[in-house]
């Protein structure tokens, strides 16, 4: 079987550039209007994308004055989109730090039923410090503690999803036997962070459980991904670091006894596409002309765990001495690391750095014609940098429409990307093995259930 | 303006009788199939019902062998139904004991946006003792403690919903001003149970916040309802206790400075309807013939906080001495009280008690022709027992179809019930005043926003 490219559309507001909301090419609807997300999900489905994805933060960002903040909550959004779409995978972010395993397990099992097996869970530990203050905590848990809780959390919810055998429900009206009590069991979890009796009150869902997605790229984050993740979103400013990450993650995954193809690595790509290179470059210029420095500074401060950069001048050339040690940042360590590496390498002005990061917040940005973008995608795909991409159009919907209309056909012509969906569940689409219940027959899978 | 009858359809599995799942008249689809709920919600919408409602428990009930357990989680279910229906109100149960205010506030605000202002929140403190064991608690919080937390919880989420003014978002592409930072504010809540900084990360929703629904009828429950509830579901085995409850609740509500019409009282009614009385009575007989005593016993045990009734014989005549003191029950006190009162009054056999409760779990059951059921509804409505009903068909969809086709037209002929929807939001439909934000202009309402 030839290797298949995977494409996920990362839907964020009116586009991934922070000024997209002002650009003529961005959607007009309110960010609280479900029709906005429906239109984008249907466009991704028409392009036969694997899935769409929604990030999340458990606090309102600063700078509501100049940035488009405040939208819909991802789990309710996913449930609504499940009924408005038919085939596309749907991935929502939810936090292991600020939710209860029983609640999260129920909601995702329910989503998987409602969507007919198209759900993924982007597992996050919520690095934004402001979130803690919304959840009755004096201060944010430290990075290591957040991950310790995350490991146990995923263990608990996995047991809950395994607490019903796929064939537990008999629904036999004649005999009066609704379920086989021996095929539904309490989990009796007693751990350091959680004590959960179970069973879940939602029967086993079409995929058994949601596809596990993860996006942390710190050392601990990689270890977590190697253990649990089936798809990984990752941010790289250049191909070299993507190759290093890809290779390291596949190696770590194999070291834990998992097959390397059971973890799909999807770097972010934010491409400005034009019919000429100049037209593509003009997209960034237009977006940067609309920018407000306070938004980028607030974002940089948040990336570095609240560090204050306000004394720096916009035209000042930066050095690493202007930044705190990224390994001490109790927020998104891998992203802070990438930014300081870029500063050391390129010595940009603050303005140039903010413009660079405004595009895709530390993800890879590309600029070019559809042929050039398709070539970059193929290059990363065949060079061991990616199994596919987390597509982050700078402007929604127009830059995605160009991608779908002009880049996707090239990828198809090169035999890299599907023309039709050949599968039902997101798990199948990502080439992942069925999930057996840890409690019941080893050969029990959702395949049997649908047989 | 004449007083208008309100009708809510309480959707529960394949009907409210515990054996409905086996009855020929019940739906065939799996309880995890969204189409099952879509069909029922659309039928209620076609009948111009005010709303549909889903109860919830945070633990899998006992007796999965003989009872239909395991379905969809209410919040995701509501989000899906929001896109599958157009006008009907949608009410989901969610717990103040086992969720975080920030998460709940976000999800309900999001639901209210997705549905265009059709959402209600049934506020519960989760009386089922088994729930505690799914949420890392050694034992369930006591009744009083659960309510103390509930009061503060509703206070916090209300502040979160008020944290955006309805006119906060400017979305001015030209000037670059997305929102007015002065119209979005932190709530800075520091209470006994919760510390929440805010603001919410979802802008103000069409109704401002969901309609507050409540169903606890204990002394503390009534106090909570009088303070917060805008619609109340309540269980009464007879009209007299419904009148007492109605009068007491309206009095308590007025005593807190609220108008009596701002709390809509909806007793449950589970009606078996036939073209003759005999045909209607036959519905209960058919259902009881399908019953399994262990299911009723498990339910009785749960209602009395885990008290063991297994030593009683099915044909034994009961007395109140067979029951624990209901005021000491740390579960659903009002329901336990109603059951012991019935035992004192009627001295039923255990079998008769279980059959009686199997129908609607302590709610009023009626048996008769459409004319008789309509007459009962009108009688309660004009006697000060009800502002409308929480309709709990013993069998879904067939007994609801009979209600919609034969009872509703009689209610319309008598000028009691609407023929068309004249409103957009659930709040308007229940005759409730708009909700102003506590933080912003007193006259600020969702009406201005849509103006």
User: Residue range A119-124: average pLDDT?
Assistant: 97
User: Cα–Cα distance between A244 and B150 in angstroms, integer?
Assistant: 51
Q: B44 exposed, middle or buried (CB, 10 Å; 0-12, 13-18, 19+)?
A: buried
Q: Answer yes or no: are the C-beta atoms of B168 and A104 closer than 8 Å.
A: no
B236-268: b (≥16 Cβ within 10 Å) or e:
bbebebbbebbeebbebbeeeebeeebbbbbbb
User: Cα–Cα distance between B118 and B111 in angstroms, integer?
Assistant: 8
Asked whether residue B448 carries a pLDDT value surpassing 70, the answer given is: no
Asked whether residue A336 carries a pLDDT value surpassing 90, the answer given is: no
Asked whether residue A1 carries a pLDDT value surpassing 60, the answer given is: no
pLDDT-based confidence at residue B331 (cuts at 50, 70, 90): low
pLDDT-based confidence at residue A171 (cuts at 50, 70, 90): very high
For residue A79, the chain B residues in CB contact (below 8 A) are 75-80
Give the A window 187-226 contacts with B, CB below 8 Å.
193-203, 205
Q: Answer yes or no: are the C-beta atoms of A272 and A365 closer than 8 Å.
A: yes
Q: What is the pLDDT of residue A294?
A: 81
Read off the pLDDT of residues B275-315 as tens digits, 9 standing for 90 and up.
999 999 999 999 999 988 788 888 888 888 888 898 999 99
Contacts of A122 (CB under 8 A, 6+ apart): A53, A55, A56, A91, A92, A93, A94, A213, A214, A215, A233
Helix or strand run (H / E) with residue B343: helix B333-346
Q: How far is B444 from chain A (nearest CA, A)?
A: 20
For residue A194, the chain B residues in CB contact (below 8 A) are 136
Q: Which residue of B has its CA nearest to A139?
A: B195
Asked whether residue A125 carries a pLDDT value surpassing 50, the answer given is: yes
User: Residue range B409-434: average pLDDT?
Assistant: 97
Asked whether residue B451 carries a pLDDT value surpassing 50, the answer given is: no
Q: Is B176 on the interface with A (CB under 8 A)?
A: yes
Q: How far is B13 from chain A (nearest CA, A)?
A: 12
User: Residue range A193-219: average pLDDT?
Assistant: 95
Asked whether residue B443 carries a pLDDT value surpassing 80, the answer given is: no
Asked whether residue A2 carries a pLDDT value surpassing 80, the answer given is: no
* Structural domains of chain B sorted by starting position, each given as residue range(s) with its CATH number in brackets: 6-273+364-450 (3.20.20.30)
Asked whether residue A441 carries a pLDDT value surpassing 90, the answer given is: no
Find out whether B430 is annotated in a ligand binding site: no
CB pairs A-B closer than 8 Å: 229
Find out whether B217 is annotated in a ligand binding site: yes
Q: Tokens 């309900």 — which residue? A: B108
User: Cα–Cα distance between A110 and B92 in angstroms, integer?
Assistant: 14
The better pLDDT of the pair B61, A185 is held by A185
- Label the pairing between strands A169-172 and A177-179: antiparallel
For residue B60, the chain A residues in CB contact (below 8 A) are 184, 198-201
Sign of CA dihedral A367, A371, A375, A377: positive
User: Residue range B221-249: average pLDDT?
Assistant: 96
Question: What share of chain B has pLDDT > 70, as a percent?
Answer: 97
Q: Is B30 on the interface with A (CB under 8 A)?
A: yes
Q: Answer yes or no: are the C-beta atoms of B187 and B158 closer than 8 Å.
A: no
User: Cα–Cα distance between B60 and A203 in angstroms, integer?
Assistant: 10
Q: What is the pLDDT of residue B449?
A: 43
Q: How far is A97 from chain B (nearest CA, A)?
A: 12
Token code pair at residue B446: 């969702």
Q: Is B82 on the interface with A (CB under 8 A)?
A: yes
Instruction: Report the residue from B71, B113, B130 with minimal CB separation from A72.
Output: B113
ipTM: 0.92
Contacts of A240 (CB under 8 A, 6+ apart): none
Cα angle, residue B376 at apex, residues B375 and B382 outer, rounded to 5°: 85
Q: What is the pLDDT of residue A349?
A: 93
Q: What is the pLDDT of residue A132?
A: 94
Q: What is the pLDDT of residue A224?
A: 95
For residue B176, the chain A residues in CB contact (below 8 A) are 19, 22, 66, 290, 292
For residue B197, the chain A residues in CB contact (below 8 A) are 59, 130, 133-134
Q: Answer yes or no: are the C-beta atoms of A194 and A205 closer than 8 Å.
A: no
Q: Is A373 on the interface with B (CB under 8 A)?
A: no
Q: Average pLDDT, whole number, for chain B? A: 93
Top mean pLDDT of B66-70, B214-218, B252-256, B442-446 is at B252-256
Cα angle, residue A269 at apex, residues A265 and A275 outer, rounded to 5°: 140
Q: What are the start-end ranges of the E strands in B78-148?
A: 89-95, 119-124
Q: What is the pLDDT of residue B447?
A: 42
Token code pair at residue A367: 């600029």
Contact B176 A76 (CB under 8 A): no
Q: Is A151 on the interface with B (CB under 8 A)?
A: no
Q: Tokens 């034969």 — which residue? A: B406
- Label the pairing between strands B119-124 and B169-172: unpaired
Contact B102 A98 (CB under 8 A): yes
Q: What is the pLDDT of residue B297?
A: 86
Contact A171 B30 (CB under 8 A): yes
Q: Is B60 on the interface with A (CB under 8 A)?
A: yes
Taking CA atoms, A268 is separated from A273, A354, A362, B285, B375, in Å, by 15, 18, 9, 63, 65
Q: Is B276 on the interface with A (CB under 8 A)?
A: no
- Terminal Cα distance for chain B, rounded: 24
The torsion region of residue B116 among left (phi > 0), alpha (psi -120 to 50) and beta comes to: left
Q: Answer yes or no: are the C-beta atoms of B427 and B436 closer than 8 Å.
A: no
Q: What is the pLDDT of residue B442?
A: 59
User: Cα–Cα distance between B220 and A409 in angstroms, integer?
Assistant: 65
Question: What share of chain B has pLDDT > 90, as a percent?
Answer: 79
Distance of CA A431 to the CA centre of its chain: 18
User: Cα–Cα distance between B124 and B143 in angstroms, integer?
Assistant: 12
Q: How far is A320 from chain B (nearest CA, A)?
A: 32
Q: Which residues of A are annotated as a binding site for FMN?
A: 56, 93, 143, 147, 217-218
- Label the pairing between strands B51-54 and A89-95: unpaired
Q: Is B35 on the interface with A (CB under 8 A)?
A: no
Token code pair at residue B164: 């955006």
Radius of gyration of chain B measured on its C-alpha atoms: 22
Closest by Cα among A105, A376, A189, A174 to A267: A376
Instruction: Determine phi and psi for A269, rounding to 5 degrees.
Output: -140, 125
Q: Answer yes or no: are the C-beta atoms of A216 and A189 closer than 8 Å.
A: no
Contact B65 A177 (CB under 8 A): yes
Asked whether residue B446 carries a pLDDT value surpassing 50, the answer given is: no
User: Cα–Cα distance between A201 and A179 in angstroms, integer?
Assistant: 13
pLDDT-based confidence at residue B355 (cuts at 50, 70, 90): confident
Asked whether residue A148 carries a pLDDT value surpassing 60, the answer given is: yes
The better pLDDT of the pair A438, B134 is held by B134
Biggest alpha carbon distance in chain B?
Answer: 80
Closest by Cα among B86, B82, B25 to B54: B82
Q: Average pLDDT, whole number, for chain A? A: 93
Helix or strand run (H / E) with residue B9: strand B6-10
Q: Is A35 on the interface with B (CB under 8 A)?
A: no
Token code pair at residue B143: 């009744």
Q: Which residue of A has its CA nearest to B94?
A: A103
Find out whether B147 is annotated in a ligand binding site: yes
Q: Is A148 on the interface with B (CB under 8 A)?
A: no
């Amino acid at each position: 079987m030839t290797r298949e490219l995977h494409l996920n559309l990362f839907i964020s507001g009116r586009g991934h550039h922070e000024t997209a909301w002002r650009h003529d090419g961005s959607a007009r609807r309110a960010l609280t209007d479900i029709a906005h997300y429906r239109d984008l999900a249907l466009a991704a489905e028409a392009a036969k994308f694997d899935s769409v994805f929604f990030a999340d933060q458990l606090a309102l960002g600063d700078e509501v004055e100049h940035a488009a903040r405040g939208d819909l909550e991802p789990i309710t959004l996913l449930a609504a989109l499940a009924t408005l779409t038919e085939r596309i995978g749907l991935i929502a972010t939810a936090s292991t730090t600020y939710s209860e395993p029983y609640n999260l397990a129920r909601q995702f099992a329910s989503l998987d039923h409602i969507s007919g097996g198209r759900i993924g869970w982007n597992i996050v530990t919520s690095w934004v410090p402001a979130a803690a203050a919304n959840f009755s905590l004096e201060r944010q848990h430290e990075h290591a503690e957040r991950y310790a809780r995350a490991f146990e959390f995923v263990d608990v919810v996995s047991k809950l999803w395994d607490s019903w055998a796929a064939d537990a429900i008999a629904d036999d009206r004649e005999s009066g036997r609704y379920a086989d009590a021996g095929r539904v069991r309490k989990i009796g979890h007693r751990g350091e962070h959680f004590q959960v009796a179970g069973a879940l009150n939602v029967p086993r869902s079409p995929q058994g459980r949601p596809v596990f997605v993860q996006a942390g790229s710190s050392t601990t984050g990689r270890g977590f991904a190697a253990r649990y993740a089936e798809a990984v979103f990752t941010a790289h400013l250049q191909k070299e670091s993507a190759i290093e990450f890809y290779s390291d993650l596949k190696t770590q995954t194999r070291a834990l006894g998992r097959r390397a193809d059971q973890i799909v690595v999807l770097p972010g790509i934010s491409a400005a596409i034009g019919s000429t290179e100049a037209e593509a470059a003009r997209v960034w210029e237009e977006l940067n002309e609309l920018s407000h420095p306070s938004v980028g500074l607030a974002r940089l401060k948040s990336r570095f765990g609240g560090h204050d950069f306000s004394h720096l001048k916009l035209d000042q050339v930066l050095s690493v001495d202007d930044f705190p040690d990224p390994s001490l940042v109790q927020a998104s360590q891998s992203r802070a690391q990438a930014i300081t590496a870029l500063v050391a390498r390129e010595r940009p002005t603050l303005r140039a750095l903010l413009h660079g990061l405004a595009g895709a917040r530390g993800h890879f940005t590309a600029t070019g014609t559809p042929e050039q973008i398709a070539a970059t995608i193929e290059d990363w795909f065949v060079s061991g940098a990616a199994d596919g991409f987390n597509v982050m159009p700078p402007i929604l919907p127009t830059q995605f429409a160009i991608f779908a209309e002009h880049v996707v056909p090239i990828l198809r012509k090169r035999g890299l990307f599907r023309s039709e969906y050949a599968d039902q569940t997101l798990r199948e689409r990502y080439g992942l093995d069925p999930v057996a219940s840890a409690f019941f027959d080893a050969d029990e899978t959702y395949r049997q259930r649908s047989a």
